[in-house]
Amino acid sequence: MAKIVYFLWILVFIQLCRCEAFEQGKGKLGGHGYFHRRINGPGFFHLQKGDLHINVTNWGATLVSLTLPDAKGHIADVALGYDSLASYMNVSSTRPYLGAILGRVSNRVKNAQFMLNGETYHLPKNDGNNTLHGGLRGFDNVLWKVKEYRGGRRPSVKFTYHSFDGEQGFPGDLDVSVTYTISGDMELRLDYEAIPRNKATPVSLTNHAYWNLAGHNSGRDILDNSVKIWASHYTPTDDHLIPTGQILPVKGTPLDFRKETIVGSRINKVKSNEKPPGFDNNYVLDGPKLKNGLKPAARMKDPWSSRVMEVWSTAPGMQFYTSNNLKDTVGKGGFLYKPHTALCFETQGFPNAVNQPNFPSVIVKPGQIYRQTMLYKFSVDKY
Ligand SMILES: *[C@@H]1O[C@H](CO)[C@@H](O)[C@H](O)[C@H]1NC(C)=O
Ligand SMILES: *[C@@H]1O[C@H](CO)[C@@H](O)[C@H](O)[C@H]1NC(C)=O
Ligand SMILES: *[C@@H]1O[C@H](CO)[C@@H](O)[C@H](O)[C@H]1NC(C)=O
């Protein structure tokens, strides 16, 4: 009996030690299986497979860095981010949401309100009269729990968040998870899940990574990058980036990226109120669907490093954004991020879908599960 008690104490002790290490954000990936206990504070988590390294934090379930070699073996970190957790915790309404998960509803909601099942729900106004990226304090600016952290052939980290009934004005309790997985050589996959517990609610999650394939600190902008977007339609907007409800062809407009096109060749032709102007548009994704539901959404190529990134997604829409509003944001290593430093491909439900009955619905009811996947594939283009 005494032996058993002694043995149990040793087990408890080992478990405590392991959690301690994770709580300090120093957990080493050793392929030792699951990590079950809940983490108390924010930390950084590292995933690696071959030459691909990613760093994420459970503050906002945010992608902090992604490093990989180019054709000549030069390593660069191609995702914009900050050095400190304090910067990620900034709740300024003009924060750029670098690398963060956006929710409960990404993008804009007109007049910060919507009606569902006969009730009007009011959200915070954090973008003029509208709501942007889930409100003043969306999923990008809350602490997520670390549910699993594993190494091995498919290294992954799973973050969970319980969003309470009424949080930022949204109806019902909602359990959300986001899993980052290095799912293949040079492949990062994000799996989203959300389960409404008691009320129907809109859900539209995305990741707001900012990509500069020459390196976040290369000092190069993205104007010479070429982009292809698998979309023949887009959703035009008013002056505050709220969709008018129309779905129009991109053909004959500066938004047509069906053929690979250099971003800078078009950027001054696009209708934009941002200063400097640039792309900030939602596309209707219509690439060919694979068996697993993923469709090609976009491809970007940086001619300087020859790095290429493909974005695949299960979502109906994608905001293509040329980081027009970055204004000397102090990034990693003290580097200043300027307008057009990076490209964003936010695959999502359509903006303001909650108020636009002709858009694909973003409502999830109790008994249903919201599931979406995003996949980033990296390669080098050898000329
Ligand atoms: C992850 O990023 C943070 C913030 O930039 C940094 O302090 C930490 O050292 C990084 N960890 C790894 C393993 O790269
Ligand atoms: C918070 O973000 C705003 C907007 O990006 C920026 O102007 C401000 O300097 C940031 N504050 C801190 C403490 O980082
Ligand atoms: C917000 O709405 C009010 C009332 O309609 C209007 O007067 C005001 O100009 C609007 N503000 C913005 C930034 O659009």
CATH of the domain at 84: 2.70.98.10
pLDDT of residue 71: 87
Residue 39 is predicted with a pLDDT of 55
Cα of 299 vs centre of ligand 2, distance in Å, is: 31
Nearest-CA neighbor of 56 among 2, 4, 99? 99
pLDDT class of 25 with cuts at 50, 70, 90: very low
**Residue 17's pLDDT band (boundaries 50, 70, 90)?**
very low
Indicate if the pLDDT at residue 6 is higher than 60: no
Which residues surround ligand 1 with Cβ inside 6 Å?
Answer: 44, 46, 55, 64-65, 83, 332
pTM of the model: 0.91
- Average pLDDT (217-243) is 98
| Annotation marks residue 46 as catalytic | no
Which of 46, 187, 193, 208 does the annotation list as catalytic? 208
| CA–CA gap between residue 78 and residue 67 (Å, rounded) | 6
CB contact at 8 A, 53 and 174 = no
258, 308: one domain: yes
Tell me the per-residue pLDDT of 38-83, one tens digit each, with 9 for 90 and over.
Answer: 456 999 999 999 999 999 999 999 999 999 999 899 999 999 999 9
Can you tell me which atom of ligand 1 is nearest the CA of 85? 4
Rg, C-alpha atoms of the chain: 21
Percent of the chain with pLDDT over 70: 89
Do 196 and 97 lie in one domain? The reply is yes
- At residue 164, what are phi and psi to the nearest 5 degrees? -85, 160
Tell whether 75 and 20 lie within a shared domain.
no
Domain of residue 46 covers 42-380
Give me the pLDDT at residue 3, please.
Answer: 56
| pLDDT value of position 382 | 73
Residue 264 Cβ inside 6 Å of ligand 3? The answer reads no
Same domain, 14 and 50: no
Q: Is 57 domain-assigned? A: yes
pLDDT digits (tens, 9 = 90+) for 346-363: 999 999 999 999 999 999
> Is the pLDDT reported for residue 90 higher than 50?
yes
| Mutation test residue for ligand 1: of 59, 64, 84, 330, the one with most atoms within 8 Å of CB | 64
Considering the domain architecture, whether residues 273 and 347 belong to the same structural domain is answered as yes
Q: What is the pLDDT of residue 9?
A: 55
To the nearest 10°, report the CA torsion of 219, 220, 221, 225: -160
